[in-house]
Amino acid sequence: MVTTKTMTAETHIRYKKESQFMQVLKRLAQDRFAMTGLGILIVIILLSTFAPVITPYSANAFDPKVALQGSSMAHWLGCDKFGRDMLTRLLYGGRYSLLLGFTAAAASAVIGLVLGAFAGYFGGWVDNLVMRFLDVLQAIPGMLLSICIATALGNGFLNTIIALSIGGIAGITRMLRARIMSERKSEYLEAAASINCSTSRIIFKHLLPNTVSPVIVNITMGIGATIMQAAGLSYIGLGVPVGTPEWGAMLSEGRAYIQSAPHLLLWPGVFIAVTVLAINMLGDGLRDAMDPRLKK
């Protein structure tokens, strides 16, 4: 009895010392659903990173003998019109799709957080200017804005990232701004200001860490949405250059063979859906872990 009591007391003390971040991670680790998502995501990342080691084929080697062939022992998921191994291309494609999703989501997160922090902290005309600009930007549905920008910039990896990231800025900015508005009168900010902290230090060292957590969930979910948008852009020929083993571009190439070789259309979509699902599962778990009240 006595030992258990001291045990709980000890764990209690340790629990208090734990940072909020560690608590969130702990709760997340207990969420089976989220961990499944994380597991799937890690497997996909590893598979695409080590694609050259895993598959004996090259992503761009033509082999007309096996063109449009279905699944076989040699080519598990079949071959495309040039006889390139589908599984190999899908694994290499993961690099493009994941990188597009993560970098575009990260870019919109950084811009959105900075804009949101400035708008929320300074208020007044800065806030007005930023918010009215976002009103205008949000009047154009995200995918259409991406199509416009992608058309203007042309094909290419970097251009696709720019086209995708601009659509995601508004949501993040709005969310962070709302959080900061409710936090602006807090005492710790007053305290920081009173010890002569610079404005940038107040914003980035004090205000942002205290307000950013709900936005992180949004950013995570945004990665999944961005991967789908990237695939969409590539499908209509506006994303990465033709011939790149990106999942959306592969769907676009397979479109002509919908009758003769439907496997060309099936697998890239399965890869996209599984990846996005895994990210969304993780994001959903993250939301619950950050705000345990939501669950009950």
Partner 1 sequence: MAKYIIKRLILCIVVIFCASIVIFTIMYFVPGDPVEIMMGANATIAEKDAMRHEWGLDQPYLIQLGSFLYNVFINHELGISYTYNAPITTEMMSRFPRTLFIGISCIIVDVILSIPLGIQAALKQGKWQDRVSTIFAMACVSVPDFWFALMLVILFSQILHWLPSYGIGGLQYYIMPIMANALAGIGGLLRQTRSGMLDVMKADYITTARAKGVPEKTVIHKHMLNNALIPVITVIGGHFGRAVAGTVIIEQVFSIPGIGQYMLNAVNTRDYPVIRGGVIILAATTSVVMLLVDLVYAVVDPRIKAQYIGKAGQ
Q: Which is nearer to partner 1, 7 or 129 (CB)?
A: 129
Closest separation in Å from C-beta 211 to partner 1:
22
Q: Which is nearer to partner 1, 117 or 147 (CB)?
A: 147
Closest separation in Å from C-beta 40 to partner 1:
11
Q: Which is nearer to partner 1, 232 or 245 (CB)?
A: 232
Note the residues at the interface with partner 1 (CB under 8 A).
135-137, 139-145, 147-149, 151-152, 154, 224, 228, 231-232, 235-238, 248, 251, 255, 258-259, 262, 265-266, 268-269, 272-273, 276-277, 280-281, 284
Q: Which is nearer to partner 1, 121 or 235 (CB)?
A: 235
Closest separation in Å from C-beta 179 to partner 1:
18
Q: Which is nearer to partner 1, 26 or 255 (CB)?
A: 255
The rounded distance, in Å, linking the Cα atoms of 126 and 132 is: 10
Closest separation in Å from C-beta 190 to partner 1:
31
Closest separation in Å from C-beta 192 to partner 1:
35
